[in-house]
Amino acid sequence: MAEHDFEPRHLETLDRDLGRFSALERASGYIARPLVAPGIALVFILLSGLAAALIFGQSSTTLIVACAAAIGAYMALNIGANDVANNMGPAVGANALSMGGAILIAAIFETAGALIAGGDVVDTISKGIVAPESIAASGEFVWVMMAALLASALWVNVATYIGAPVSTTHAVVGGVLGSGMIAAGMASVNWAMMGQIVASWVISPALGAAAAAGFLWFIKARIIYRDDKIAAARTWVPVLIGVMSGTFAAYLALKGLNNVIKITMGTALLIGLGVGIGTWLVMIPVIRRQSEGLENRNKSLKVLFAIPLVVSAALLSFAHGANDVANAVGPLAAIVEATSGNVGGAVSVPLWVMVIGAFGISFGLLLFGPHMIRMVGQQITKLNPMRAYCVSLSAAITVIIASWFGMPVSSTHIAIGAIFGVGFFREWDAERRLKTQLREAEVPALPPEERSRRKLVRRNHVLAIGAAWVVTVPATGILSALIFLIIRFFD
């Protein structure tokens, strides 16, 4: 009898204890989960510094190179967390790609672009902002690069945390400007180039917005607003895909292949023209077959744009990896060369430096990228495959036009500007169509002060992102100058 009374009490106590342990495990998991990604990132940073020290060998400058490698790895992580969202955000926001698929594709193509076509990066570091010979004369070139790299990495980290897509190129430019001015004086700064960069803050997003709005207007006028949407799509979608493939072929030739073999603008355009015409001819029967049985409504059109959108996201990632890996490994490569006595001359980038940059971008994307991808793809304005297609295509075209005129533009500014352009065009188009319907129905429109315009773009994001763009160069410049002064004090 006593044994029979004991078992229920014993089991009840055991259940309570197990419940406490389960609650403790859940609480521990909840607390530890946010620390997993930073922990992995920290391990990667430390391993990068250790690997650099082992590869560089025993030298009086080994510690400097190891620290620079760790900071370069930190910058690469931040580039992956912030910049890659511009390539993948539209495709995810349009539901053409899942978050997991976007991260996988971006990681593969970013790494491939960085390792295959990202070798010629040193001239991308300072953009001619500060004369290297002026810094070399001061004997502080290494500390200038170190301060610039750390300042830009810290700023991009802050921008990612607050959800602002910023230009990592402009961050590095600001960093070099700030520490370079302290080391060599204001006379060493190329103020004409700085003026071009400031102008690009306005010009590049405006060009991206105008191009994206123009393409969206064309799609609406030629396909969406037609009575027979499917027949119109069979005519124009192959043309649009041909334009996209030709544009990306020229874009990749300029931004990626140009780092492997020298390609002029004319050659790149000829490559794009050939690829575009070939793709257009191939896609005519493909789109005809895909469109069979589709209903005559807008939702059916999304199917025809989904695959081209995924391909464009992958190609943008390849080009981004080839181009923007310079922002992480450029200063690091310059430091490695400077410690060997080569300052301001041609710099060869060691393979281990490229590996740190390539894998750092991919790790940053995997660990911290989803937050920015969601913000870019879903929180600025609503995207579908047609609108996202316009964003990707306009970004590539704008970069080509800017390269033609020699303008130092930011791919981040262009892509975000294109998203803004799509959103504001939708607002304008909705207002225009409402006025037309009221006029045809002979219904008097309300006075402007009595009607509210439908908002399809989140204004708070416009203001926050614009502010982050404006302060990127000054913020990184000031931060870099402070870091340089601290380094000089302890040197």
pLDDT one digit per residue (tens) for the chain, 491 residues: 444 454 555 555 545 554 554 554 454 444 445 678 888 899 999 999 999 989 877 777 888 889 999 999 999 999 988 887 778 888 888 888 888 888 888 888 888 877 776 654 445 454 456 666 666 655 678 888 899 999 999 999 999 988 888 888 889 889 988 998 888 788 777 787 778 777 877 888 898 899 999 999 999 999 998 989 999 999 999 999 999 899 888 877 876 666 667 778 888 889 999 999 999 999 999 999 988 888 888 888 888 888 888 888 888 788 777 767 777 777 887 788 777 666 555 556 778 888 888 889 888 888 888 888 888 888 888 888 889 889 988 888 887 777 676 666 777 888 889 999 999 998 888 888 877 777 777 666 555 544 555 677 888 888 888 888 889 999 999 999 999 999 888 87
CB 146 within 8 A of CB 65: no
Count the domains in the chain. Answer: 2
Tokens of 152: 């830009």
CB 417 within 8 A of CB 214: no
In a domain, 112, yes or no: yes
291 and 163 fall within a common domain: no
199 and 236 fall within a common domain: no
In a domain, 76, yes or no: yes
What range defines the domain where residue 250 resides? Answer: 225-297
210 and 270 fall within a common domain: no
285 and 261 fall within a common domain: yes
341 and 240 fall within a common domain: no
In terms of DSSP H, where are the helices of 132-190? 132-138, 141-162, 168-184
Closest listed residue to residue 469, CA positions, set 266, 249, 201? 201
CA separation for the pair 481, 491 (Å, rounded): 15
Of 297, 332, 349, which residue sits at a domain end? 297
369 and 340 fall within a common domain: yes
180 and 138 fall within a common domain: yes
292 and 326 fall within a common domain: no
pLDDT at 12: 58
In a domain, 109, yes or no: yes
In a domain, 26, yes or no: no
Provide the 3-class DSSP secondary structure of residue 340: coil
CA separation for the pair 328, 81 (Å, rounded): 13
260 and 328 fall within a common domain: no
pLDDT at 101: 85
In a domain, 28, yes or no: no
DSSP symbols for 278-302: HHHHHHHHHHHHHTTT--SSHHHHH
Closest listed residue to residue 110, CA positions, set 363, 294, 439? 363
Q: How many CA atoms lie within 13 A of 398 on its CB side?
A: 31
In a domain, 446, yes or no: yes
In a domain, 22, yes or no: no
Closest listed residue to residue 457, CA positions, set 466, 449, 468? 466
CA separation for the pair 196, 187 (Å, rounded): 18
φ, ψ for residue 372, nearest 5 deg = -75, -35
pLDDT at 25: 47
pLDDT at 45: 95
Of 266, 297, 328, which residue sits at a domain end? 297
Tokens of 441: 């129905």
CA separation for the pair 330, 454 (Å, rounded): 46
Rg (CA), the chain: 26
234 and 352 fall within a common domain: no
Tokens of 200: 């690009």
Provide the 3-class DSSP secondary structure of residue 21: helix
CA separation for the pair 125, 148 (Å, rounded): 10
235 and 325 fall within a common domain: no
Terminal C-alpha separation, the chain: 82
In a domain, 313, yes or no: no
193 and 45 fall within a common domain: yes
Provide the 3-class DSSP secondary structure of residue 451: coil
CB 190 within 8 A of CB 131: yes
**Residue 125 to residues 5, 255, 323, 327, Cα–Cα distance (Å):** 78, 15, 11, 6
Of 242, 263, 297, which residue sits at a domain end? 297
CB 44 within 8 A of CB 363: yes
